Structure 1
Amino acid sequence: MRGLLLGGWAFAASLATAQRGPFLEQIDDTTWVVGNDLWNLTQGAFYATKLFHRGQDLVGSAVGHYVGYDGEDNLQWLSASIAAEGDNFIDVSFFAELGDFHWVIFDDLPGAYQYFVNRALPDISILRSLWRLAPEIFLNGRTHLKNEALPDFALYANATNVQDETWQLEDGTFITKYDWSNAVRDRDFYGVYGPEFGSWYIHPTFEYYNSDQLSQTLTVHRESSTGDSVQLNVVQDTSHFRVGQTTAQPEGKTWGPWLWYLNSGSIADAAERRVEELAGWPYEWFNNTSYHSRGGVSGYLQLSDGRPAAGAAVYLGDTDTTIRPSIQGSNYYYTTYADDTGAFSFDDVRTGSYGLYAWSNGGEIGDVYTNVTTSPVTITRAATTQLGELKWDVPSGAQRIFQVGEFDKKALGFTHGGPPYQHGVADLSPANLTFVDGESENSDWYYAQSAIGKWTIEFDLAAEEVTGYKTALLSVSLAGYSQSAALDIDVNGQVLATLSKDTLVSDPALYRSGKTNGEWRFFQYPISSSMLSAGVNTVGFTVTRYTQWRGFMWDSIILDWE
């Protein structure tokens, strides 16, 4: 293990033959070579290229590796040094004015652990590292949702660009990088591979990712302008699938370490490596005091009607509960789900103060639209904070008239709702639809409403109900909204409200292949019993403004007598 300044140019290919273990070598003021006996790369001021592994350059004519925030190659490396070392590894730090990117290189590891430490980043929405690799070597992409060949670069030549990185082919189908997206906290591992080589990202924890269980972002794709095989590592993202907002980043905040792993292209081997990484996390070799200062928290969620909050989504986020979980991104974040008894626990949480949030994830409590928030929750080193029973208030005395869709902030259960990601599916929803309470199923509703027309829910009321209650409450839960669609909500033809770009800020999920969720929105409207009558009644949703691939993504519609 060593770091040297070479007097002249050293070819990275020849360095691979020297049996010397992990190394850093400086070629000139803006060029370095790092690696070990199994691989090495040449790092320039912005890009890392000449990635040699088993005698093959895996970058070739592609762009290579870079790190950037809210853009492309905007972190410039000014120097490099060995920040730490052990008996069998070195930690190489590349210095930029805004922060340091590290490659932790072990003797016999084909790849490296990577992490980024903030020094002076501005408020950001995106932070990422990525590889753009040789397309003739890396033919396929793999995520936990999708495993197939990347689109042939030749397809783009005669395709029409219909929006950012989305192309329509002559047969009317689409290719887009957004079809490879997924929910961050559902991932196992992902990467690009071919018959001889694979390049993978394995994250043993999601604590340095922003947001809650609904967070989603990009993974791999074909670069439409060059054909490069792209392997993205987006560790901060508050814009691609939600209402965008930048977040402040404290000095010293660390994203990672994660593992960038090279192999023969074997998915099974990458899966086995992930198991090893999970077993070894938190990493003992990582020399960071706050990283190793960890504790736990546990508790039990009980609904006020006596039911356990079975399967509830539980999230440790910011103590400032006025910030939406979907855009929280300054700290570290943890997610889990309650068991059938409402019990939950978090282990290996960084010490500090958090806000605890819980909401229905469908299932046994899919009828519950309220939530729980408590703050602060303090995590202390080597201890488990016992929260005991947390009371979750649900409306008392309410009588359910009807419900369409389970409340889970997602479009699951509806036609076309849920994976896979696919562009343009909103166009398959009907313009007009009638849902009859007591006869129709959730699957008769569609995940998205887009075309100009009216969707109607029909429901029966008994005379004694209309005379026995003064008001009803209509709860409308949207899994997402993409402008510029507009929607009138009516009861028996009387318009209650209009949802449009004038009242909602757009999220891009629906037109970026999202079929599960974007940014959640929730509205409630009181209805006088005078607006209702004995017999058949209707709640209507009329689209009055249409923009292709945009519209309203549905979660749940609930009508209760109060």
Structure 2
Amino acid sequence: MVTVRSILGLAALVPIAVAAPLEERAKSKSFLKQIDGSTWVIGNELWNVTQGQQYATKLMYKGKDLVGDAVGHYVSYNGAASDLNWTSAAIVDSGSNYINVKFTAVGGDFHWVIYDDLVGAYQYFVNRALPVLGEFRTLWRLDNQSFPNGRTNIKDGVLPPLSEYASATNVQDETWQKADGTFLTKYDWSAFIKDVDFHGVYGEEFGSWYINPGKDYINGNHLKQELMIHRESKTGDAVQLNMIHGTHYQAVSRDAFADGKTWGPWLWYLNSGSQSDAASRAKQEDRAWPYKWFKDAAYQSRGKIQGKLVLSDGRPAAGAAVFLGDNNPSVSSLDQGRDYYYITYADENGKFSIRDVRTGTYGLEAWSNGGKIADVSTLHRESEIQIRKGSNTNLKTLTWKVADVKKRIFQVGEFDRKTTGFALSGPHPYEHGRIANCPTDITYRVGESDTSDWCFGQSEVGSHSIVFPLDSLPAGNSSAAKLTVSLAGFSQGSKADVLLNNVKIGNITDMPNSQDTYRGATQAGEWRLLEFAVGAGALKAKEENKIEFKVYSSAQWRGWLWDSIILEWV
């Protein structure tokens, strides 16, 4: 738990504090000033902001208010339904060149760690009484004239001006269709959050950036996606999101948090709009993480884990995704979010390691990320993994049970929980309505068709079919098989029967809605694994067989994303 007397140490401050752009360095002093019972001003001689009961406004930098008519900074959960209300503010620690300002609310404490010569502040939140929730965030809503552009690690450009929304038609949540048929949607500014180096909004004179090194406090696994920035369609505000517990591309992620659960610290950074400067700062923060100056005992208590994954058929688990999370979880790795989470990928020999893991008891999961093990459909799990302070937990060699590939009849698509290789899956992972461009009917011929002949998703009424020959049936008159359907995402609305040689063997129908296809996701959403039994005698030798995914009911932009389809003898 964070304590008032031991939060910050002075020894490691200087390398962080002196890294502001040269033109912005000055001898200054950080401060907290109370205006009345619910208004405070914090900052230093380079910048300051006025914090009210809910919103921080009047962000002054270089003589300009960067909030203007926008909403400003706030902390909220479950969307905009519950903004935290600050009841008090105090400097809880200070030194010769910093202060730590704590704003208190019923739900918890939000901290601004302000250095004298840093334009921006380190921020973190300590839980006290947050309810069970899905979405928890901090954010800035800033002046749209000062911040006309947005940047994530995969998208950089002009945020749509407010005037474009005024002349377009709203077709769903924050999605608008223009007269030319194209769409404006905030979800185009989403990203795989664990891959983001820095993100923010910027213009020719100003840039506001979030830099989140470590990210172990953010929920989910490698494929966790979140909305990062956007244009607010009603007001035009430039919105800079810090989704520290989010649900934008998930069905459910509701967690209860222990008293003292801490999100952060991360850095909110202001500059002249320079992306190169923000990138340099992000690299510096990565090198400094975990921050030595943050003297919380639980934060500083960390160890290392390593191991080697080998498949039961003898192959190394080359490139496998490795996730360290809840011990003996009752939910998927994407849905985990109450504690702290770590991700990596195995090397070509199946070896992996993760440093700076908070001490505790964890569970490990591994799955195929495509490539040399793209045929592996199973998940490997380990539990009761102890991480101790200053120690290296060596799991040595872990044997991962996989199916016998000799029994494989066919496979369409790499097993990697993504739409890799399918038509229209790239290059950009977000585009509203792209799933509607997939053909309503597809016939894929095993041995003749390419992966790119299969579209990344299915939504409309029609059939996606796989035709395959069988020269013979297994010896001993045993011809039972199993159809494994791996979906990279699923949005409720469309329904399909699964047919083998015109006989129904299952369906793809109502499952929890992960909001992926209709929010423009084209590469991943929330992964689902479906298995369908194929009885003896259903497959025919010496003739063509056909598996058909026949959509009989559809809703616009709703359906599923394909990952891999495997048929094998059992």
Q: Which sections of structure 2, spanning at least 5 residues, go unmatched?
A: 1-23
Distance in 1, Cα, partners of 2:35 & 2:347: 56
The answer on whether the counterparts of 2:43 and 2:49 sit within 8 Å (CA) in structure 1 is yes
Deviations 1:64-109, CA, capped at 9 Å, x for gaps: 0000011325200000011112232111100001100111000110
* 2:111 alignment counterpart: 102
* 1:38 alignment counterpart: 46
Question: One-letter code of the match for 2:307?
Answer: G
Distance in 2, Cα, partners of 1:394 & 1:469: 21
Distance in 2, Cα, partners of 1:461 & 1:483: 35
* 1:4 alignment counterpart: none
Pairwise CA distance, 1:371? 1.2
Secondary structure at 1:530's aligned position in 2?
coil
Secondary structure at 2:277's aligned position in 1?
helix
Question: One-letter code of the match for 1:443?
Answer: S
* 1:82 alignment counterpart: 91
Deviations 1:460-483, CA, capped at 9 Å, x for gaps: 101354875431111111111111
Distance in 1, Cα, partners of 2:448 & 2:97: 66
* 1:400 alignment counterpart: 408
Secondary structure at 1:278's aligned position in 2?
helix
Question: One-letter code of the match for 2:344?
Answer: T
* 2:567 alignment counterpart: 559
Pairwise CA distance, 1:287? 2.5
Secondary structure at 1:279's aligned position in 2?
helix
> How many correspondences in the alignment?
544
Is 1:523 matched with 2:525?
Answer: no
Pick from 299, 308, 318: which aligns with 2:307? 299
Pairwise CA distance, 1:513? 1.1
Secondary structure at 1:322's aligned position in 2?
coil
Distance in 2, Cα, partners of 1:272 & 1:505: 41
Is 1:273 matched with 2:303?
Answer: no
* 2:220 alignment counterpart: 211
* 1:92 alignment counterpart: 101
* 1:136 alignment counterpart: 145
Distance in 2, Cα, partners of 1:30 & 1:464: 77
Aligned CA-pair RMSD: 1.5
* 1:456 alignment counterpart: 465
The answer on whether the counterparts of 1:217 and 1:240 sit within 8 Å (CA) in structure 2 is yes
Question: One-letter code of the match for 2:130?
Answer: L
Secondary structure at 1:522's aligned position in 2?
strand
Distance in 2, Cα, partners of 1:408 & 1:397: 17
Pairwise CA distance, 1:225? 0.3
Pairwise CA distance, 1:488? 0.6
Question: One-letter code of the match for 1:394?
Answer: V
The answer on whether the counterparts of 2:121 and 2:269 sit within 8 Å (CA) in structure 1 is yes
Question: One-letter code of the match for 1:243?
Answer: A
Distance in 2, Cα, partners of 1:255 & 1:438: 51
TM-score by length of 2: 0.93
Question: One-letter code of the match for 2:471?
Answer: A
The answer on whether the counterparts of 1:466 and 1:529 sit within 8 Å (CA) in structure 2 is no
* 2:11 alignment counterpart: none
* 2:10 alignment counterpart: none
Is 1:508 matched with 2:509?
Answer: no
The answer on whether the counterparts of 1:466 and 1:533 sit within 8 Å (CA) in structure 2 is no
Pairwise CA distance, 1:19? 6.6
Distance in 1, Cα, partners of 2:475 & 2:121: 67
Question: One-letter code of the match for 1:251?
Answer: D
Alignment of 1:110-189 (within 5 A): 110-189=119-198
* 1:22 alignment counterpart: 30
Distance in 2, Cα, partners of 1:333 & 1:463: 48
| Stretch deviating more after TM superposition (269-278 or 280-289) | 280-289
Pick from 58, 72, 77: which aligns with 1:69? 77
Deviations 1:204-243, CA, capped at 9 Å, x for gaps: 1110000111111111100000001110111101x31111
Deviations 1:325-382, CA, capped at 9 Å, x for gaps: 1211100000000000000011000000110000001110010000111111110000
Distance in 2, Cα, partners of 1:172 & 1:396: 49
* 1:10 alignment counterpart: none
Question: One-letter code of the match for 1:137?
Answer: S
Pairwise CA distance, 1:323? 1.9
The answer on whether the counterparts of 2:417 and 2:527 sit within 8 Å (CA) in structure 1 is yes
Q: Identity, % of aligned pairs?
A: 52
Pairwise CA distance, 1:407? 0.5
Deviations 1:16-60, CA, capped at 9 Å, x for gaps: 9x9751110100000000001110000000000000111111011
Distance in 1, Cα, partners of 2:231 & 2:146: 13
Pairwise CA distance, 1:322? 2.0
Q: Which sections of structure 1, spanning at least 5 residues, go unmatched?
A: 1-15
* 1:325 alignment counterpart: 333
* 2:244 alignment counterpart: 235
* 2:209 alignment counterpart: 200
| Stretch deviating more after TM superposition (394-403 or 484-493) | 394-403
The answer on whether the counterparts of 2:27 and 2:116 sit within 8 Å (CA) in structure 1 is no
* 1:385 alignment counterpart: 393
Pick from 412, 421, 426: which aligns with 2:435? 426
Pairwise CA distance, 1:529? 3.7
Cα 1:524–1:230, aligned 2, differ >3 Å: closer, same or farther?
same
